[in-house]
């Protein structure tokens, strides 16, 4: 039995003492860091050392409240940023100060003038505004960085000479604080200081952040305690007990034990923050050299947030009359007045996942618009199958295209063969070189993209099962689904379980047959995942069509070719952060289909044994889709092995963290850059946990000191297939991503009862 002894909260704890009687570890006290505990998962077995997993669960969830199902979708504060520049009436020169006048209007000053924000507009003035509040009596002779004042009249002066405090009516007194580790804080070069709404004193130095609690005791925060950065420039306090810290590279908000880091143009006009002021509603006004950024908290529910994403998808994202979904280009960074649409390699996958969300939405809410959107997705996916037939050349019946584009557009085949030859010579020796990669449809209206991959099929089957069960109401609609699924599945069976292109050969990523999976070293890495996928396809096909041939084929693959054994290890894992999230996304859809539709109870139990350790490696990613898929399969379940019966319940925190991610998603889905590699609160992942074990890439990857990936509002990604442990993200706001990353898990949570409308 593993026992954890934590002497302080997660934010203060650097290490945990673990006492163990596991035979693989010498009995006694072992000092494990968070990363060491993460890595230990890779080297221990699943059930025999299940107690170590439980220990890690307790560690990573330290301080979390127990998940309460369902989460009731009451309004919360959705964080939204707005930016003001010279064009909005601000004076030239970087913003130096922000404060409020007696009316509560923000007042800003630069070296060249000032401006007042009234009735939604900035009004400039040249001299000092007489209505502004200047409460500070500056201590003479000090080189100041920051001044602040409490509601009781106490004052702080932070500067190069240290930290000085003056109680009301008293004298300035220099504060120097000992942290119990032989260090003095506040003796010199204090960058910022503030009283919060609860009367606590905070000050920031390069060593970190110090807080004098209400009882007079001091508490210290460094990177190991979750502090993201330390080059402070200013500070402000909100009425809710929060403090805001300006730095040379972004803004930090600390409230109720949680850190929030705001950096990059999604949140700020410029990263170097000169001044912060918090108004009575909790809105932060942040002054930078580029102008003023305003971060407000707008009350909304997750359901209202979903409506905003839905409107944006209908208006800006959907492409062609069939409504395919993929990221689009904006005519100017951040300008969502219009978009420039184009085809995408994975149109079928992204459209399928959006459609799956609409199936859940219709089942959970009964809204006709959700049914209509799901129906549109079905027609789009069915057309990807139909468009490939009848033209010259044509693949075998049932084949599905990746994407389509109008023949009124430039021919996408021009120059393609040359690029394919380069790719095969320099990047992928199995890459196919053939033409045309984009054949024309029989009616000549469409180019359709060939060389379809396995992730496309995973999306199609994930959608078809849900659409058949939750949306298709009439016998005619259900028969339409049967026809599409039957044609695609028969195509695989008739072509040695390979997705076979118009050249008569399998697509690059369309191999599923036993000869490849079990006897070809080129497919060693994909053996587990592709075996899992093929079993899920056959299971969905049997469920939808009722045809016995699919269950019989599955049994042959299982009993003769050991596909069930292959599927027990969908990926060769090397610990948290290994592999790639595209595979994870595919595996989770496959597990969901198999555990939802398989009639073999023994096989379902084996699948849960495989799914549980897979999910435990994924849960640090804070991915609500992964969490909800697993919870839908594993809640309340147990599995047995030679060492006993074990719960495969999702770990404490799965719902809290999922809701936290759904709340945190920005309404602005433009691809603004985010920089995090400079942060202090990170643990770098070692090379054995890189995406490609054979690569010498030194790309910065890591987790926060709490063992979790960066929150979704501190990075940007288009889909859940992005590396969650990447620290820096490029982008200039010119690409708009789809809201499916929110909509699919939100609607799935509604359907499975994890989320409930009030």
CA distance 284 to 100: 12
Report the pLDDT averaged over residues 583-598. 97
CA distance 464 to 157: 65
Point out the least confidently predicted range of 241-250, 364-373, 457-466, 579-588. 579-588
Looking at 243-367, list the stretches that DSSP marks H as alpha helix, in order from N- to C-terminal side: 302-312, 347-365
CA distance 259 to 242: 10
SS3 309: helix
Contact 631, 44 (CB under 8 A): no
Render pLDDT for 76-133 as a digit per residue (tens, 0 to 9).
999 999 999 999 999 998 899 999 998 999 999 998 899 999 999 999 887 555 444 4
Q: DSSP per residue over 577-603, as a string? A: T-S-HHHHHHHHHHHHHHHHH---HHH
Q: What is the 3-state secondary structure (H, E, C) of 355-389?
A: HHHHHHHHHHHCCHHHHHHHHHHHHHHHHHHHCCC
pLDDT of residue 695: 59
C-alpha atoms less than 13 angstroms from C-alpha of 164 in its C-beta half-sphere: 20
pLDDT of residue 575: 83
pLDDT of residue 139: 59
Q: Given a cut of 60, is residue 30 above it in pLDDT?
A: no
Render pLDDT for 440-453 as a digit per residue (tens, 0 to 9).
999 999 999 999 99
Q: Given a cut of 70, is residue 160 above it in pLDDT?
A: yes
* In the chain, % of residues over pLDDT 90: 78
CA distance 525 to 231: 45
Instruction: Using alpha carbons, list the distances in angstroms from residue 643 to 357, 604, 609, 640.
Output: 39, 19, 13, 8
Residues with Cβ < 8 Å from 564, sequence gap 6 or more?
535, 558, 603, 606
Instruction: Using alpha carbons, list the distances in angstroms from residue 171 to 58, 138, 189, 193, 389.
Output: 49, 12, 21, 18, 87
Contact 429, 391 (CB under 8 A): no
Report the residue count for the chain: 758
Point out the least confidently predicted range of 375-384, 566-575, 631-640, 733-742. 566-575
Residue 515 CB coordination number (10 Å): 13
pLDDT of residue 2: 28
pLDDT of residue 605: 94
DSSP state of 275: E
Dihedral angle over CA of 271, 275, 281, 283, nearest 10: -10
* In the chain, % of residues over pLDDT 70: 88
CA distance 138 to 150: 15
Pairing of strands 284-288, 273-278: antiparallel
C-alpha atoms less than 13 angstroms from C-alpha of 627 in its C-beta half-sphere: 26
pLDDT of residue 574: 81
Helix (H) or strand (E) holding 206: none
Q: Given a cut of 80, is residue 663 above it in pLDDT?
A: yes
Q: Given a cut of 50, is residue 14 above it in pLDDT?
A: no
pLDDT of residue 397: 98
CA distance 250 to 221: 18
Instruction: Using alpha carbons, list the distances in angstroms from residue 273 to 28, 207, 493, 569, 689.
Output: 49, 19, 61, 49, 35
Report the pLDDT averaged over residues 163-189. 88
Which residue, among 604, 606, 608, 596, has the nearest Cα to 544 in the 3D structure? 596
Grade residue 161 by pLDDT with cuts at 50, 70 and 90.
Answer: confident
Single pTM value for the model: 0.89
CA distance 580 to 229: 29
Contact 206, 189 (CB under 8 A): yes
Grade residue 617 by pLDDT with cuts at 50, 70 and 90.
Answer: very high
What residue ranges in 46-131 does DSSP mark as E strands? 71-72, 76-84, 97-100, 106-110, 113-118, 121-125
Residue 89 CB coordination number (10 Å): 14
Edge to edge, the sheet with strand 106-110 lists 97-100, 106-110, 113-118, 121-125
pLDDT of residue 142: 65
- For the chain, give the mean pLDDT: 88
Q: Given a cut of 80, is residue 280 above it in pLDDT?
A: yes
In degrees, rounded to 5, the angle at the alpha carbon of residue 612 between the alpha carbons of residues 609 and 617 is: 135
Residues with Cβ < 8 Å from 193, sequence gap 6 or more?
146, 148, 156, 157, 158, 163, 201, 202, 203, 204, 235
pLDDT of residue 126: 73
CA distance 406 to 341: 12
CA 456 to chain centre: 21
Contact 728, 675 (CB under 8 A): yes
CA 661 to chain centre: 7
Render pLDDT for 386-414 as a digit per residue (tens, 0 to 9).
999 999 999 999 999 999 999 999 999 99
Burial class (CB in 10 A: 0-12, 13-18, 19+), 523: middle
Residues with Cβ < 8 Å from 381, sequence gap 6 or more?
348, 351, 352, 355, 400, 460, 463, 464, 484
């Amino acid at each position: 039995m593993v026992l954890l002894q934590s002497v302080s909260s997660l934010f203060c704890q650097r290490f945990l003492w673990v006492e163990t009687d596991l035979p693989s570890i010498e009995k006694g006290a072992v000092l494990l860091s968070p990363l060491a505990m993460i890595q230990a998962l890779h080297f221990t077995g699943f059930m025999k050392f299940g107690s170590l997993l439980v220990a890690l669960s307790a560690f990573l969830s330290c301080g979390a409240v127990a998940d309460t199902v369902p989460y009731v979708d009451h309004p919360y504060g959705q964080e939204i940023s707005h930016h003001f520049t010279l064009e909005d009436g601000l004076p030239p020169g970087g913003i130096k100060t922000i404060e409020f006048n007696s009316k509560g209007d923000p007042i800003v000053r630069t070296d060249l003038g000032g401006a007042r924000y009234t009735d939604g507009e900035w009004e400039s003035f040249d001299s000092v505004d007489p209505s502004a509040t200047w409460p500070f009596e500056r201590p003479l002779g000090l080189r100041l960085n920051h001044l602040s004042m409490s509601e009781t009249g106490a004052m702080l002066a932070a500067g190069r000479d240290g930290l000085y405090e003056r109680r009301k009516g008293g004298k300035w007194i220099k504060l120097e604080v000992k942290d119990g580790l032989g260090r003095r804080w506040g003796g010199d070069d204090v960058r910022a200081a503030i009283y919060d709404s609860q009367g606590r004193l905070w000050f920031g130095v390069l060593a970190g952040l110090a807080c004098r609690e209400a009882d007079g005791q001091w508490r210290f925060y460094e990177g190991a305690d979750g502090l993201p950065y330390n080059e402070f420039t200013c500070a402000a306090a909100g009425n809710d007990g929060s403090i805001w810290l300006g730095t040379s590279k972004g803004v930090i908000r600390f409230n109720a034990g949680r850190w929030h880091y705001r950096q990059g143009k999604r949140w700020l006009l410029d990263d170097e923050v000169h001044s912060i002021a918090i108004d009575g509603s909790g809105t932060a006004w942040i002054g930078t050299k580029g102008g003023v950024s305003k971060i407000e908290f707008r009350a909304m529910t997750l359901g209202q947030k979903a409506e905003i994403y839905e409107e944006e998808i209908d208006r800006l994202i959907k492409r062609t009359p069939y409504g395919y979904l993929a990221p689009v280009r904006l005519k100017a960074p951040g300008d969502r007045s219009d978009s420039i649409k184009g085809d995408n390699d994975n149109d079928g996958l992204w459209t399928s996942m959006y459609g799956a969300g609409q199936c859940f939405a219709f089942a959970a809410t009964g809204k006709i618009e959700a049914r209509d959107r799901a129906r549109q997705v079905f027609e789009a996916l069915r057309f990807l199958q139909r468009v490939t037939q009848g033209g010259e050349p044509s693949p075998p019946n049932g084949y599905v295209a990746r994407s389509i584009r109008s023949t009124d557009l430039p021919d996408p085949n021009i120059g393609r063969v040359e690029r394919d030859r380069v790719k095969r010579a320099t990047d992928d020796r199995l890459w196919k070189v053939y033409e045309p990669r984009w054949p024309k449809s029989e009616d000549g209206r469409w180019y359709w993209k060939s060389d379809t991959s396995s992730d496309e099929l995973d999306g199609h089957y994930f959608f078809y099962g849900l659409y058949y069960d939750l949306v298709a109401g009439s016998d005619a609609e259900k028969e339409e689904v049967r026809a599409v699924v039957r044609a695609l599945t028969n195509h695989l069976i008739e072509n040695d379980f390979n997705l076979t292109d118009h050249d008569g050969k399998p697509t690059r990523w369309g191999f599923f047959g036993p000869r490849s999976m079990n006897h070809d070293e080129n497919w060693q890495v994909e053996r587990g995942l592709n075996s899992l996928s093929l079993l899920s396809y056959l299971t969905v096909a049997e469920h939808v069509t009722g045809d016995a041939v699919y269950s019989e084929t599955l049994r042959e693959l299982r009993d003769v070719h050991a596909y069930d054994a292959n599927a027990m290890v969908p990926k060769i894992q090397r610990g948290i952060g290994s592999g790639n999230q595209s595979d994870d996304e595919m595996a989770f859809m496959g597990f969901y289909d198999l555990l939802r539709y398989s009639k073999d109870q023994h096989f379902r139990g084996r699948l849960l044994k495989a799914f549980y350790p897979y999910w435990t490696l994924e849960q640090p990613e804070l991915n609500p889709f992964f969490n909800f898929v697993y919870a839908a399969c594993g809640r309340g379940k147990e599995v047995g092995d030679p060492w006993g019966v074990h719960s495969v319940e999702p770990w404490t925190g799965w719902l809290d963290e999922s809701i936290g991610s759904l709340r945190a998603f920005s309404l602005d889905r433009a691809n603004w850059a985010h920089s995090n590699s400079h942060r202090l609160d990170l643990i770098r992942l070692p090379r054995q946990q890189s995406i490609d074990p054979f690569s010498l890439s030194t790309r910065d990857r890591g987790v926060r000191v709490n063992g979790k990936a960066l929150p979704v509002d501190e990075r940007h990604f288009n889909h859940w297939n992005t590396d969650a442990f990447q620290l820096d993200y490029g982008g200039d706001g010119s690409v708009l991503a789809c809201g499916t990353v929110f909509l699919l898990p939100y609607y799935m949570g509604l359907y499975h009862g994890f989320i409930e409308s009030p």
